[in-house]
């Protein structure tokens, strides 16, 4: 009897798998390395083989459907990936290829969007009708749910909060433009700003740490800020202010009940959230500022596989 949903989150280094119940409970999860050979040509074959080798799934008849999150720009209608730079896919018919192999319903979405769907189904979103999820990690990702539906946009580019321009005179972004939120609030951006501070204050704690380690991480910056280091406090004040601007602008468009902060930086203390909230209120329309709750996401790395399973659940409920 069909009773399991398989949720898959394909990333540039790992492919994460989950076997879930129809209610979205994770029954088991595992991961494999992402095979980047020949522009990711073997990934789907390896994904299907890994599923069939799982003890719960040796009979494909037990699977209700497969949901997949993929990086890059995705056409959710067809399951095509327009472009996933870190894997090497270009105009890759992910949905069609997997459907062909498994003869099961397959649904595909962008990875940031499945994380937002996962948080909204089983995490901190709590099935909000209007929700913004921003992920602060190596890069800044975003997913937006409006009127209960994930926003995809005309060509799969909706919710790219990381590429909201917050400083036209700012840093160059890897999208080819200047001053995107990603250049400030991503791990790369944070370290870059810390290195600039260090150049201005060569005898500070940050400079000492850098000399010791030969490198800096976002963790270092947050830790030193907590210890009262003024350089790191300035860097984080700038990040929270820029996040406040970007989120206030996004909120002016969809008027969310909640904004969730996910990714590595959601491990920072509650003070970081308090600072983001203050910056958001400072830059928001008063009516939006007073209603929007800002919280940390809850599901961590599981948000993707849960959101991928939600794609299947949602379609099954309709059919």
Residues that bind Zn ion (CB under 5 A): 163, 173, 175, 180
Least distance CB 156 / Zn ion (angstroms): 16
Buried b or exposed e, range 58-81, using 16+ CB within 10 angstroms: eebeebbbbbbbbbbbbbbeebbb
Q: In this complex, which beta carbon is closest to Zn ion, that of residue 47 or of residue 140?
A: 140
Considering the complex, state which of residue 163 and residue 283 has its C-beta at the smaller distance from Zn ion.
163
- Rounded Cα distance between 107 and 241, Å, is 37
Q: Which is nearer to Zn ion, 166 or 224 (CB)?
A: 166
Measured CA to CA in angstroms, residue 292 lies from 26, 34, 238, 276, 282 at distances of 30, 38, 21, 12, 13
CB-nearer residue toward Zn ion: 24 or 162: 162
Provide the minimum distance between the beta carbon of 179 and Zn ion in the complex, in angstroms, as a whole number. 8
Task: Report the half-sphere exposure of 159 (CA within 13 A, side-chain side).
Answer: 31
**Residue 30 CB, nearest distance to Zn ion (Å)?**
33
d(CA 118, CA 311): 9
Q: Nearest distance from residue 52's CB to Zn ion, in Å?
A: 39
Instruction: Closer to Zn ion by CB, 47 or 180: give it.
Output: 180
Residue 202, burial from CB neighbour count under 10 angstroms (0-12, 13-18, 19+):
exposed
CA-based nearest residue to 257, from 136, 95, 126: 126
* Shortest distance (Å) from residue 118 CB to Zn ion: 25
């Amino acid at each position: 009897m069909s009773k399991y949903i398989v949720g898959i989150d394909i990333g540039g280094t790992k492919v994460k798998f989950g076997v879930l119940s129809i209610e979205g409970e994770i029954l088991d999860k595992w991961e494999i390395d992402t095979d980047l050979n020949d522009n990711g040509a073997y990934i789907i074959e390896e994904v299907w083989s890994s599923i069939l080798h799982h003890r719960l799934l040796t009979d494909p008849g037990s699977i209700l459907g497969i949901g997949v999150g993929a990086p890059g720009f995705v056409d959710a209608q067809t399951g095509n990936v327009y472009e996933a730079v870190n894997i090497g896919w270009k105009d890759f018919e992910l949905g069609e290829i997997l459907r062909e192999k498994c003869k099961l319903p397959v649904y595909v979405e962008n990875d940031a969007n499945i994380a937002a769907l996962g948080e909204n189904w089983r995490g901190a979103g709590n099935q909000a009708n209007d929700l913004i999820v921003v992920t602060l990690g190596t890069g800044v990702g975003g997913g937006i749910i409006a009127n209960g539906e994930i926003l995809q946009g005309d060509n799969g580019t909706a919710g790219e909060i990381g590429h909201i321009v917050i400083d036209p005179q700012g840093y160059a972004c890897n999208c080819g433009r200047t001053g995107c939120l990603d250049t400030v609030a991503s791990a790369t951006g944070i370290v870059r700003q810390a290195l600039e501070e260090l150049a201005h204050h060569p005898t500070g704690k940050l400079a000492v740490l850098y000399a010791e380690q030969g490198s800096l991480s976002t963790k270092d910056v947050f830790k030193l800020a907590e210890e009262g280091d003024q350089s790191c406090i300035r860097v984080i004040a700038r990040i929270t202010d820029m996040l406040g601007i970007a989120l206030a602008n996004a909120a002016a468009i969809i008027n969310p009940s909640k904004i969730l902060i996910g990714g590595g930086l959601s491990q920072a203390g509650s003070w970081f959230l308090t600072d983001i909230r203050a910056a958001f209120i400072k830059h928001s329309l008063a009516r939006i500022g007073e209603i929007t709750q800002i919280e940390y996401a809850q599901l961590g790395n599981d948000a993707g596989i849960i959101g991928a399973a939600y794609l299947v659940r949602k379609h099954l409920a309709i059919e």
